Amino acid sequence: MIQEESFSVLHKKKRVRLLTLRNPNGMRVKITNYGAKIVSLLVPDKHKHGKPVDVVLGFNTFEEWRDKETYFNAIIGRYANRIKGGKFSIDGTHYQLPINNGENSLHGGVEGFNEKVWDIVGQTAYSVSLHLIAQDGEEGYPGKLDVYVTYRLTRENGLVIMYEAKTDKPTILGFTNHAYFNLEGEGCGDVRNHCLQVFADEYTPFDDTACPTGEILPVEGTPMDFREPIRVGDRIDDPFFAPGRGIDNNWVLKKSSGSVQRSVKVENASERSELIPELAAVVKAGERTMEVWTTMPGLQVYTGNFVEKNIGKSGREYDVQTAICLEAQNFPDSPNHSNFPNAVLRPGEVYFEQTEYRFC
């Protein structure tokens, strides 16, 4: 059982807290400001016959969250996914990030946003807003970055995540939430019986370091074609994916508005043009369905290929492929490919993105 008192600690001189959000249907989510992580997400079944089921992996104490799987259900930044060689350039200036994933930089570096204690700047019964300042040069990234993330439960059993950021010098950024879902319930075996549909006609192939080659190819005729619902277990062992591991690939989401620039330049907040989320993916398991709606251009699907054997919050064992992540985000290594969506944020611009996990 989640030990709420264990989250009331000081970590790096900042207070860690655990907050609970509720909607009228019995949906509940617990959020900690350590890594802005989802600690639990209890979702009622659509017939409301049984108790709400916790559909995200996780642990009972702060110490476990700190010491075990540090990316579980966290906000990832300053840049989600991989940057090849940890290198990128802006306006002719070259930057080097820490290497923490083979030859590449992954998920913001050695100490990304997933390990920061965020400030809680707003809270209601159904929402919480968190704030973080990343300093110029932190983890090798330029610019002092001012970041807000808001979690909000809807009456329609959706969990909305809104991202907003500003910078004082040109920088790159791209956020995601790295939630590890099992719609049968956390710790209830692998996700091979989950059915997945991704609304994408194209994908970004990657090289032997798991970074994109820069190509954008059609999914048709490949194991990446999930335009119709496919049982995950029918594809996960295909040699096209990581042999013996599973899926860890980026899809190019279909957008009714076409290609969009990811930062919106505004003079004041009232002039901000907020992008409208579109349906990116649907996952089904048993009686439960989850839809992913997002403004992001890409979707990384990851089948928990490197989850270490751990005992989770219900006392059941986690292992490889016991969860599926649907990480709405910018494309991996986008700063190094001019044909990928823009990843540069400049002073005077506002970064705004939104993703919703909707249960039905």
> Which are the catalytic amino acids?
178, 327
> In the numeric block, which tokens belong to residue 58?
């996780």
Coil, strand or helix: which one is 232?
A: helix
Coil, strand or helix: which one is 19?
A: strand
**How is residue 104 annotated by DSSP?**
B
> How would you class 155 by CB atoms within 10 Å of its CB: exposed for 0-12, middle for 13-18, buried for 19 or more?
exposed
Residue with token string 């989401």? 253
* Cα–Cα distance list, 336 to 10, 20, 23, 98, 103 (Å): 39, 40, 42, 16, 15
> In the numeric block, which tokens belong to residue 292?
């992913």
Residue with token string 């996914």? 81
Q: What are phi and psi of 233, to 5 degrees?
A: -65, -20
